[in-house]
Amino acid sequence: MNFHSVLLQAPAGSSNSMVWNIVLWVGIFVVFYFFMIRPQQKKQKDQKNFIENLKKGDGVVTIGGLHGKVYAVEGTTVIVEVDKGIKLTFEKTAISREATVKLPA
pLDDT tens per residue across span 33-67? 989 999 999 999 998 998 988 889 889 999 988 99
Residue 10 pLDDT exceeds 80: no
Would you say the pTM of this structure is higher than 0.75? no
Residue 28 pLDDT exceeds 90: yes
Distance CA 37, CA 18 (A): 27
Angle at 50 between CA 92 and CA 31, to 5 degrees: 115
Tell me whether strands 67-74 and 59-62 are parallel, antiparallel or unpaired.
antiparallel
pLDDT exceeding 70 applies to what percent of the chain? 82
Confidence grade of residue 73 (pLDDT, cut at 50, 70, 90): very high
49: left (phi over 0), alpha (psi -120 to 50) or beta: alpha
Confidence grade of residue 87 (pLDDT, cut at 50, 70, 90): very high
